[in-house]
Amino acid sequence: MANELIFIAGSTGFIGSHIVRRLSGSERKVRCLVRNEDSAQVVRSLGHDAVIGDITDPASLKGSLANVETVIHLVGIIEERGGLTFEKVHVEGTENLINESKSSGVARMFYQSALGAGPDTGSRYLETKFNAETLISGSGIPYLIFRPSLILGEGDGFTKKMKQLVSAGPVVPIPGDGMAKLQPLYIDDWVDCFMRSLETNMFSNRIYDIGGPDHITFNEILSEIMKVLKIRKRTVHIPVSALKMTVPFMGIAGTIAKMIGKEIPSVTGELLSLLNKDNVCEKDSVFRFFGFEPIGLPEALNKYLA
């Protein structure tokens, strides 16, 4: 299927930008959904087609999937801002994309979900991701869904927040006890998984839970980041309940920090809750599903952060 037309929603985000670069120069034809002309110019400079639209606006999608065989749905948010809620983006946006896919005769759909997605999780982020999965699995379109743990690499939001966290003050605050386990997966390895699924047409109505080779606590991840950045500071654990009380004032705190030349990471109650829950799957998940060993956290950090 080298000459198939692939449509990517979320092409300028962290993961999308890595896929778009990997597909640049390949035989596959790519059409990217972007939100403005500046982003359109970026993807066109890489040899891809671009259409301006937004999955939360169904009218903007009309005709954008003409002749498309595979839809790659990467759009997602980790923080709600203004009218961009989890329900609006993850659920309504996915429904809009499915409807346009069905009317355009799309042959298959990929969706980037999240490890832990499910009903009754207590997390609106994970529950709306699961609701999006349910819409896709019930659409009648052959699908493939990835549920990754934490993905790290050049341009990822998590590392940006951690750099702000360790650089802002004389001590490094850690939400909760920092013992929740994550399973970091390097972005290049994620893209390799994606490309192998594309090349071998793994769109057989499957959901894959994937993660890196190790289960690592938040404390350990932060320590490794500080080591690579050569930052030595004392860490202080702060109860999550106390941090949640400060969430309404984070906008003010961020403004004050910028006035004195500092940056503090934005935080929501949702993020604090997610950071204090284990988010892991089988350690050999990538090898079992895709046939190769992903790299570990220290090697990954040295590739893009050192």
- 219-268, pLDDT tens digit by residue? 999 999 999 999 999 998 888 776 665 554 344 334 434 433 455 566 67
Tell the burial category of 224 from Cβ atoms under 10 Å away from its Cβ (0-12, 13-18, 19+). buried
pLDDT in tens, 104-151: 999 999 999 999 999 999 999 999 999 999 999 999 999 999 999 999
pLDDT, tens digit, 9 for 90 and up, residues 40-53:
999 999 999 999 99
Query: What pLDDT, on the 0 to 100 scale, is given for residue 252?
Result: 37
- Residue 60 has what DSSP assignment? H
The per-residue pLDDT for 1 is 55
Domains of the chain, start order: 5-148 (3.40.50.720)
Whether the full predicted model's pTM is greater than 0.85, yes or no, is yes
Contact status, residue 79 vs residue 113, Cβ threshold 8 Å: no
CB atoms within 10 A of CB 238: 12
Strands 216-217 and 181-182 turn out to be antiparallel
What is the model's pLDDT at position 256?
35
- Residue 144 to residues 73, 109, 191, 208, 268: CA-CA distances in angstroms? 10, 6, 14, 8, 30
pLDDT in tens, 259-291: 334 555 666 777 777 888 999 999 999 999 999
